[in-house]
Amino acid sequence: MELEGKIIVVTGGARGIGRGLCARFAQEQPEAIWVTDIDADTVEATARELGAVARTCDVALEDDVRQLVSEVMAVHGRIDLFCANAGIAVSGGIETPDDEWRRIMDVNVLSHLYCARAVIPSMLQRGSGYLLHTASAAGLLTQIGSAPYSVSKHAAVALAEWLSITYGDRGINVSCLCPQGVRTAMLDGEDPVIQSLRAGSLSIEEVAESVVAGLREERFLILPHAEVGRYFQNKANDYDRWLRGLRRLRREICGPPAETPPDGGGG
């Protein structure tokens, strides 16, 4: 896909990777970019700077997503590229409270479903359209130290894969962005796992450049970190060996596992 003259919507577009995507897309002379995010002030500031359209949207609410798509359609009559990019991180394992599991699944998974439900019907009517889902290398591999993040990103990849299989023969392209460490606010903090991701991390601009290249080539997996593809192949070739390697890496980063997992859950 070439982005010149296109109508583009980016959720989570006011900061981090989303902002980087909007800034890079703007260089391709699209007809319009709609920057959406949950914080109105940040959305307005980003949109002003990029010459884009600002729209506040809570992607965890399906009605918000439907209204967003309706507004864009009312103005432009089409959406060429919809980027389901909004995401959050939650650390912890099986002890993580249920409300945190629900929160991350709402944003990292169900919001992608809501976006697809809202935008695919009009794309099918036109016989063309493009979906970009931001997941993570954690969705192909795993995330040491965060069961909720890892599970939610696996689900995001699975949904994107299903959409590609189901609608790819009807003119709808799907790409799934799976970066490893990216220098955003998510890499702040002193957690040892986060610190380990800083080595080899990429800038937002490098990730955005990879996305434009991936969209141009219409690749399903967009992997800004080339090593992720190799790790994914290793995982497929010998799953048990890969698991042993990740256990070893976890010990190196986090130390020996606790004898008894912390009590948690419930709510």
- d(C-alpha 101, C-alpha 210), whole Å: 30
Contact 144, 246 (CB under 8 A): yes
Sheet holding 172-177, edge to edge: 53-56, 32-37, 7-10, 81-84, 129-134, 172-177, 221-222
Q: Which residues does 35 contact at the CB level (< 8 Å), separation at least 6? A: 10, 13, 14, 18, 19, 22, 43, 46, 47, 50, 52, 53, 54, 55
Q: Catalytic residue positions?
A: 149
Contact 57, 36 (CB under 8 A): yes
Neighbours of 74 (CB within 10 A): 8
CA atoms within 13 A on the CB side of 167: 27
- d(C-alpha 34, C-alpha 40), whole Å: 13
Phi, psi dihedral angles at 106 (to 5 degrees): -60, -45
Task: Tell me the two tokens of residue 192.
Answer: 């040892």
Hey, is 57 helix, strand or coil?
coil
Q: DSSP letters of 174-216?
A: EEEE--S-BSSGGG-S--HHHHHHHTT-B-HHHHHHHHHHHHH
Q: Which residues does 102 contact at the CB level (< 8 Å), separation at least 6? A: none
